[in-house]
Structure 1
Amino acid sequence: MKKKGLSILLASAMVAAMLTGCGNDGGQSSGSSEASDSGSAADSGAAESEASDSGEEASDAGTADSGEVPTITYAHTGKASADMEIWPPDFVKQMEEDLGVKIEVIQITDEQFDLAVASGDATFDIANVTKYREPQVLNKGMAVCLDDYLDIAPNIAKFEDRNNLVREFLSNGDGKLYFTRCQVGPEFPGSEIWSGYVVRWDWYKELGCPPINSDEDYLNVLQQMVEAHPTNDAGGPTYGLGQYVGTGLWSWNVVKTYQLGYSENYVPGLQVNLATGDVYNAYTDDEASFWQAMEFFNKAYNMGLCDPDFFIMKSDDLNTKVVQGTYAGALRTWDVGSYYSQEAKNDPETLKGYVSVFPENGGMSANYASNPIAGWENNSLFVYSGCKNIDKAVQVLDYMHNEDNLRTYYSGFEGVHWEYDENNVPVLTDAGKEMFATGGTPLDQAGVAGSTTGGWMNYLCAYSGGVMHSDGSMLNLTYSPEALAETLNPLQKDYSAHYNVSYPAQVHQNQVEQGIAKDRSMDTKDLYMILTQVPEDMGTKKTQIETLLEGYIPDLVMAATAEEYQQVKEQVIEECKAMGSDELFTWSKEAYDNAYKAFTDAKAKYGIQ
């Protein structure tokens, strides 16, 4: 199916203030015939690039009473950018035209959502809610039963496995479908992986790219790079690592969690080794990522590799130092990506940037390849029962369940950004390659270099970009090895040439194929949907323990000797246990076991593989 071309694929933005989304004229009529079976731009007759920004010329349907084009307001409850410069992006313009609607996006805080729940009156038509919010929505009767609208939502109906799990676990026991969920299917790493041993590539090459097979190897390499380059671009000192605070334990734990291949806490106080199934007390066991991280940071600090502002920097402070070329390494590639972006403006062929290096003998896990049946673990979407255009709101959700529309979302417009070759295989065009080479990551396909918007629309996409289209290629055409190789920047190309791969992430993917490393294909993210809300007493224990741990981080990291470190560690663990860490772990282990059994039973009940 061919779609007409528009100039740019995507650029998402957030409306800064609350807008009224349900105050549209028009009635509700379940079973409307306005939706086609596909809901796609191709089947509705996509417009040329002169299409109206507002979509007001796109439909004769409008509302039942006035003929006006109805506005469907989507409320995003997560964090996102509020950049308005390029709203609406061309994909949204196409959706507006295809469905005969105008789409607005608002961002609402937890407090605003709580007020909507308490009052039973909301200013949106569609909303996404995070974990444990579903019972609130259902108890207040705020969600439309989507089973009553599947005749106008054939694409939603096709997601039988996901829908059955949602009916089973997110219906307050009545077995009906009130929520959709996004990003079903395998997560693809894209061109590179953020969680390896991150090094500044040009300095690492100067050393001859020595193997890094352990934390000790990594810290020694960072030390050599700092000694070779003691001064940064601004004339100040260089350091091995920087860190920002303000995110609780997360920023300290996250790297080791993914390097070790652990769950990111299905329930508080418990970590699961995804490869072995072993469970650990996240606060007191030596194997826990927190203690693995503390040991690493203590070694780094005693080698003089940590920025003196390690314990006080915010993310903006860290970035200020990043763009000055202050660091030899980093905890995550995304922390330091702005340095390459800056340097590439001055020299498009620069190798001044950061990459993830993995142990040559394997053993390090990485964050990709989880394959949730019911989608992202912390997101459920519903249509508000007070909406005055329920049919249209349902059709908006259905539109984002259609594989052709998702191909457009992830890969651009057919005939402009991609086309079928002589073998009927979809491939990127030169324009598509150029767009993706300059437009950020595959999840931020704005076509505008440096854009940080786009994240909210991924919450509407029913499939992940790594899912196969019926034409045999992934929805996100940039994920093919050929496309990835053709859209790499010079730094990524140089890295790939050194390791003899097509694109950087393939280094780790090859290790997984060889059986010497692990991805997250064993990550049962669907358990998040099943796990019940943490009881108040256990939630209090979690908060108290994590506050305690965070307060001790400077003492642990700055401990001058192994003996001093061990003394502080033993004191911290003793205090954690006094606060009830063992009781929390016992509750969490039972909750996890029950959820795992319930999930296994549900898969058997519905014949889910």
Structure 2
Amino acid sequence: MKRSLRSLSALLIVSLLISVFAGCANNNNGGATPETSAEPPADNGQASDSPLTLDLYSDRAWYSDWTGAGAKRITEKTGISFNVKKPVQDDGDGKDISLMIASNSLPDIMVVDRGNKMLQQLVEGNYLYSLDELIEQYAPNLRSILNEQYGEELLANFKEEDGKTYKLISGYQTTKYLDEAKLNAGLAPVWLPQFVVRKDYYDEIGRPDTSSPDKFLAALEQMAKNHPDKIPYLGDKGQHSNDLGWFLPQFGIADYYLNGETVQHKIKDPQWKEMVKFAFKMAGKGLLTKESFVNTGEVTAQKVAAGDVIVSALNSAAKNNTPPKDNPDTSFEMLSPFSSYMYPTIPKGWMALVIPKSNKNPERTMKLLEYAASKEGQADFFFGVEGTGVEAFKDLENGPHFYYDKSTVNNYFPQGKPTFTTGFNDALNKDWGGTWKQAGLGEPIMLVANWAVSNTVFWNPQDQEKLAYDQLMAPKMKFFPEFNFVIDSASELGVIEAKINTLRSDYLPKLVFAESEEEFESVFSFVLDKSEELGIAKLEAEYTKQYADNIAK
């Protein structure tokens, strides 16, 4: 209780500070609210490549301090370096930003998670330049780069109520990105949830079709009968306890249920009930136990590695796992997904770059962004030092880290597909995080990321195995930008949503492990009735309103 009071007191202090400084908001061009008509300052006379240090804030603890080899090369090319401020732990709540507003100390540039709770306040409080005015005045070519190389959505889909765009979003799945990913066998990630089986046990029963719930159950029953000492199916609590996450895509369940023109919570989706009833049938046959709802990922992984499990909740990468200890001559493989499999994604983007009106040199900042967004800049930020061939690598800091493979056509680079040199790729495979850090490349120094470019080093359209996987799974991925809803967790609707999600997770085990079908139906009816009492109709009305607004954009 004391801890909660201390947290509340801290928030009150921040709020009071914001109120105090708001009084002098229009008397400066710093973090306080500027006049709406404020124009970007004129060029201060600095040469375009003269040394300039800008203050940068990121709310991500992993962001670089701008001292690595990659950052130094970019500074040498542009003349710009960054004095980076970042939290010890990720600050998605925006506590740092609140304090910067209160103390009138916003930086020159910010690279933050697009879901940061203070980001919208920066927009609504008029603390930011609109990208539209900065692009028009200082970097008109940036508009062409974004529209042609990233996708027109970046400057169109994130407009605020005043019709202006303030946030440059990275990691948004534009149509152009999706087209490039499909073309390069890179749309379907290996981590998509799958049912993974021991190959030896699957071979024993003749490798039957498992592409429907009934066929899967029949195959699992047969394998369990052959090996009664093994756990038929096992996942962990993170995958199953809240919403049967590993079953959702198999049944093609989206994040929301569109019932005509009305958007409803997914518990109203008939397929959601079918999915839960499927788990109920598994449990009734002894194929699904409570271990999947209570085990940690570590415990489950140990049981799978020991060979105690027939079918596991894993993904396609499991084929590379060490064989189970009880049979080193077998392996793990992905079962055919259900014909109803659909993995839903609500495109929201990943990181947001914004430019506060406290920026000391908007012109140089925009010229830097124009370079960073270009193919040249993306190569410098994400690929590193160019070499002459696959064996050109010498060391992590100086590379060469990549070369252009002329044998593979790429839409962005006429000289061929950017490909990591063997030495650098081997280093990444041994120590992914440590290698990126020592090389000083990639996301830790990003300003803006074009995934259609930065992912080219990982895509390989000539890899027949990856191509087959992408051809199987890419059509099963679906994107729902119309479901990009914003519900404030602290609002009445946010509280209603949280209570309904808690209701779902609390009663899910009772549904799965019901003693009879009558009990299942009774519990399911209770959940629906209780959700009505909690105010689900009001929540769904807001979903429907935002859905209509998104469709109209």
Determine if the TM-score, normalized by the shorter chain, exceeds 0.5: yes
AA matched with 1:365: M
1:258 maps to which of 225, 228, 249: 249
2:235 is equivalent to residue 242 of structure 1: yes
CA distance in 2, matches of 1:199, 1:307: 17
Contact 1:295 1:557 in 2 (8 A): yes
Alignment of 1:37-48 (within 5 A): none
Alpha-carbon spacing, 1:169–1:525, altered in 2? closer, same or farther (3 Å): closer
TM-fit CA distance, 1:536: 2.3
TM-fit CA distance, 1:211: 1.0
CA distance in 2, matches of 1:298, 1:32: 72
Deviation readout 1:211-266 (Å, 9 max, x if unpaired): 112123223434444555566xxxxx5441212249984xx2544543444543xx
Deviation readout 1:480-533 (Å, 9 max, x if unpaired): 420x34xxxxxxxxxx4xxxx844233335xx4xxxxx432xx242763x8675
Alpha-carbon spacing, 1:91–1:202, altered in 2? closer, same or farther (3 Å): farther
Deviation readout 1:200-221 (Å, 9 max, x if unpaired): 4454345443211212322343
Contact 1:284 1:576 in 2 (8 A): no
The aligned residue for residue 602 of structure 1 is none
- Provide the secondary structure at the position in 2 that maps to 1:357: coil
Q: Which moved more, 1:540-549 or 1:187-196?
A: 187-196
1:541 maps to which of 476, 493, 496: 496
TM-fit CA distance, 1:181: 1.0
Contact 1:195 1:367 in 2 (8 A): no
The aligned residue for residue 587 of structure 1 is 542
Contact 1:333 1:356 in 2 (8 A): no
2:499 is equivalent to residue 519 of structure 1: no
The aligned residue for residue 397 of structure 2 is none
2:262 is equivalent to residue 282 of structure 1: no
The aligned residue for residue 163 of structure 2 is 175
2:450 is equivalent to residue 508 of structure 1: no
Deviation readout 1:102-139 (Å, 9 max, x if unpaired): 45473324152463365253468313243475431123
TM-fit CA distance, 1:365: 2.4
TM-fit CA distance, 1:178: 1.7
Alpha-carbon spacing, 1:207–1:299, altered in 2? closer, same or farther (3 Å): same
More strand by share: 2
More helix by share: 2
Contact 2:66 2:81 in 1 (8 A): no
The aligned residue for residue 356 of structure 2 is 384
TM-fit CA distance, 1:548: 1.3
The aligned residue for residue 196 of structure 2 is 198
2:34 is equivalent to residue 62 of structure 1: no
Gaps in structure 1 of 5+ consecutive residues: 1-21, 36-59, 64-69, 232-236, 265-269, 468-473, 486-495, 513-517, 600-609
Alpha-carbon spacing, 1:149–1:332, altered in 2? closer, same or farther (3 Å): same
TM-score by length of 2: 0.69
TM-fit CA distance, 1:159: 2.4
Gaps in structure 2 of 5+ consecutive residues: 1-29, 32-39, 390-401
TM-fit CA distance, 1:382: 0.9
CA distance in 2, matches of 1:247, 1:385: 46
CA distance in 2, matches of 1:173, 1:191: 35
Deviation readout 1:10-39 (Å, 9 max, x if unpaired): xxxxxxxxxxxx99xxx986588866xxxx
The aligned residue for residue 257 of structure 2 is 271
Contact 1:33 1:152 in 2 (8 A): no
Aligned length: 476
CA distance in 2, matches of 1:411, 1:350: 39
The aligned residue for residue 126 of structure 1 is 110
CA distance in 2, matches of 1:242, 1:128: 33
- Provide the secondary structure at the position in 2 that maps to 1:310: helix
Contact 1:542 1:584 in 2 (8 A): yes
Contact 1:75 1:127 in 2 (8 A): yes
CA distance in 2, matches of 1:111, 1:414: 38
The aligned residue for residue 218 of structure 1 is 216
Alpha-carbon spacing, 1:342–1:393, altered in 2? closer, same or farther (3 Å): farther
Alpha-carbon spacing, 1:88–1:316, altered in 2? closer, same or farther (3 Å): farther
CA distance in 1, matches of 2:549, 2:350: 19
The aligned residue for residue 552 of structure 1 is 507
2:283 is equivalent to residue 311 of structure 1: no
Contact 1:215 1:296 in 2 (8 A): yes
Contact 2:128 2:356 in 1 (8 A): yes
TM-fit CA distance, 1:555: 0.7
AA matched with 2:470: A
Q: Which moved more, 1:177-186 or 1:190-199?
A: 190-199
- Provide the secondary structure at the position in 2 that maps to 1:384: coil
TM-fit CA distance, 1:315: 3.8
CA distance in 1, matches of 2:362, 2:301: 44
The aligned residue for residue 120 of structure 2 is 135
The aligned residue for residue 404 of structure 1 is 376
Contact 1:244 1:315 in 2 (8 A): yes
Contact 2:55 2:109 in 1 (8 A): yes
- Provide the secondary structure at the position in 2 that maps to 1:127: strand
Alignment of 1:155-166 (within 5 A): 155=142, 158-160=145-147
The aligned residue for residue 464 of structure 1 is 451
AA matched with 1:505: D
Alpha-carbon spacing, 1:172–1:505, altered in 2? closer, same or farther (3 Å): closer
Deviation readout 1:148-176 (Å, 9 max, x if unpaired): 43324733553249898667775653333
- Provide the secondary structure at the position in 2 that maps to 1:194: coil
Alignment of 1:477-496 (within 5 A): 477-482=457-462, 484-485=463-464, 496=465
TM-fit CA distance, 1:547: 1.3
TM-score by length of 1: 0.63
The aligned residue for residue 7 of structure 2 is none
Percent of matched pairs sharing the same residue: 17
Name the Cα RMSD after superposition: 4.8
- Provide the secondary structure at the position in 1 that maps to 2:528: helix
- Provide the secondary structure at the position in 2 that maps to 1:181: strand
Higher RCO, 1 or 2 (CA under 8 Å, sep at least 6)?
A: 1
1:365 maps to which of 315, 335, 342: 342
Alpha-carbon spacing, 1:108–1:548, altered in 2? closer, same or farther (3 Å): same
CA distance in 2, matches of 1:102, 1:203: 58
CA distance in 1, matches of 2:247, 2:445: 26
Q: Which moved more, 1:214-223 or 1:90-99?
A: 90-99
Deviation readout 1:33-56 (Å, 9 max, x if unpaired): 866xxxxxxxxxxxxxxxxxxxxx
The aligned residue for residue 426 of structure 1 is 416
Deviation readout 1:546-589 (Å, 9 max, x if unpaired): 11111112211111222221111111111111212233223321
2:281 is equivalent to residue 299 of structure 1: yes
Contact 1:96 1:102 in 2 (8 A): yes
Alpha-carbon spacing, 1:94–1:407, altered in 2? closer, same or farther (3 Å): same
- Provide the secondary structure at the position in 1 that maps to 2:334: strand
